[in-house]
A and B are shown apart, each in its own frame.
Chain A
Amino acid sequence: MTRYLAGRIFQAFIGLVFITTLVFFLVRLTGDPARILMSEYAPLELREVLAERLGLDRPLYEQYFSYMGGLLTLDLGRSFSGQPVIDVLLARLPATASLAFASLIVAIVLGLPLGILSAVYRGSAVDIFSRTVALFGQSVPAFWLAIMLVLVFAVILRIFPVAYSQGIESYVLPSIAIGWAAVAGIARLVRSSMLDVLDSDYVLMARAKGLPPTVVVVKHAFRSAIIPVLTFGGLVLGSFLNGSVVVETVFAWPGLGKLTLDAVNGRDFPVVQGAVILIAVFFITINLLVDLLYAFADPRVRYR
């Protein structure tokens, strides 16, 4: 287990170095970042001042090491607004994290029962309904769903707020818009995983013993069926990050997604760079946790 753990953490570390290096070179490969940041009509002297301030006049390896060194101390440079980038990012993190959490709850609460029911009652009306939901989940763009939810529930019915406000009720519409796509994924995966398990010998054995069907489904089948669903967790959170950019835009949600889009539009490069790095760190950490959880749940993984 220790060896597996160490290997996996080392892999995650390599992944981080890879992504941060990629971001570093990407910016510089496309030419002079000062030119991307400023209009091409900006006077040359002004561009040179900016280049100096960003340290772009130094040799590449020097820039690289000071950039990587900065990352170690969480120094991501300063936003064009003057604030340290790390502060700007951390201020926006809670809004995105809490929305992702709410979306996960939506996805699980709706997806898990749908998947289980459609596996247990295979071929029935429940199954067909759940498969239809799954097909729709993968076909509806989150941002459009968000706008339509606003139209129906905020503008016409006036049940939920149109945009972000402090209260819990403002989470309802955006978390449905983001979580919807994952409902389909979770339901599909739980269904196929449950079907495999329901056909297995030990489930047959449990049934033969005369255990009540609910116990067999919940205790015997579901426990092993959930393992593949765990790995899906990483992917689900990835889809939430995708969803968060567009959905946060619709609801004026003060999170990382909207921050990144605003920074892109405002050409605030240090913030864009910082956001990408933060998201990559978030991603790699989630994937690491999922893998460790997986190893914990399924002992075979550790001895592969």
Chain B
Amino acid sequence: MTMLTSAIGARARSVVGRAGQLPIVPLVILGALIVGALFADVLAPHDPLKVELTNALAPPFYHEGGTMVHPLGTDELGRDILSRLMHGGRVSLLIAASVIVIGGLVGVPVGLLSGYVGGLTDSIIQRAVEAVLSLPTIMVALVFVFVIGQTYLSIILILSPFVAAEIARMVRGDALAIRRSNYVSLARVAGASHLRVILRHILPNVAGTIIVVATLQVGALILVEASLSFLGVGVPPPTPAWGLMIDGGREYVATRYWLSLFPGLAIVVTVLSINWIGDWLRNVLDPRQQML
């Protein structure tokens, strides 16, 4: 008995402790990134597309010859790197957000349906979900962009099924467990329709999972989008995208490492913050899923 109460006490303490430790650092970083990306037009010191060949490959401020006019230097066409980073963040976040919205709008209903209805419907949906998830994203996106064309919209449409499948898989798992719970049976006995049970009793209980999966997927999407731009099949140049900037700096890496270093750091810091927040959300919202 003492063991039990102490276990409950520990559990209550750890829940409070988990919720109490708001991840300030990543939230602040991410907030700054979002503000920088949204208001890049106003905040960026220069026009990200303005070519200034006489001032090409200027070093960052801490280097000999660097100035605060271009704090992070300029690229091979004399474009300001800091301004391009800020506008590049907008591209990454815009694409990731769009894909998450589309993926959620498709994935959540499909997952709910699959988990709640079960049976043959569930089997068919799950085979399709497995098939999508077993494909190598970048390889497939590479080929699809080749066929459909290289635009914002095509990249969003290509990445959406992967996110939808992942969300559907997680939502389905939760819905399956909740369907068997007593309160769902009681709601049915009380005369609630299937739709009402799904919307009132199941959806609120899978909301935590949806938020966690969506957050972690944003991080993964930013990496995939960057990889595609790096390969030259992402957003078309001269749009400033982080992956494109890394690729542009690649041939100068031996002498001007900062061309590739800064956009890479921008990706790492952004994705790290998002994953950090995602891990925290997972601990707070869904202790069962705790992996870390």
Q: A-side interface residues toward B, CB under 8 Å?
A: 11, 15, 18-19, 26-27, 30, 36, 131, 134-136, 138-144, 147-148, 150-151, 155, 188-189, 191-192, 234, 238-239, 241-242, 245-246, 249-250, 257, 260-261, 264-265, 267, 272, 275-276, 279-280, 283-284, 287
Contacts and interface: CB of A to CB of B under 8 A. Distances in A.
Given A264-B142, A265-B232, A242 B227 contact: yes
Contacts of B140: 276
Q: Chain A's interface: helix, strand, loop or mixed, by majority?
A: helix
Given A141-B226, A238-B134, A188 B291 contact: yes
Most buried by A among B134, B148, B263, B267: B134
Given A140-B268, A144-B267, A284-B134, A155 B254 contact: yes
Given A138-B219, A151-B253, A284-B134, A272 B271 contact: no
A139 B219 contact: yes
A296 to B, nearest CB: 20
A147 B264 contact: yes
A4 B160 CA distance: 33
Interface stretch (B62-70, B184-192, B272-280): B272-280
Contacts of B134: 15, 234, 238, 283-284, 287
Contacts of B264: 141, 144, 147-148
Interface in B95-142: 127, 131, 134-140, 142
B257 interface: yes
Question: How many B residues are at the interface, by size bracket?
Answer: 35 or more
Contact of B291 (A150, A191, A279, A280): A191
B215 interface: no
A136 B227 contact: no
A134 B279 CA distance: 11
A241 B139 contact: yes
Contacts of A234: 134
29 contacts: A135-B276, A139-B223, A139-B271, A140-B267, A144-B263, A144-B267, A147-B253, A148-B261, A148-B264, A150-B253, A151-B254, A151-B257, A188-B291, A192-B291, A242-B224, A245-B138, A245-B139, A245-B231, A246-B138, A260-B139, A264-B233, A265-B232, A276-B139, A279-B136, A279-B139, A280-B135, A283-B134, A283-B135, A284-B134
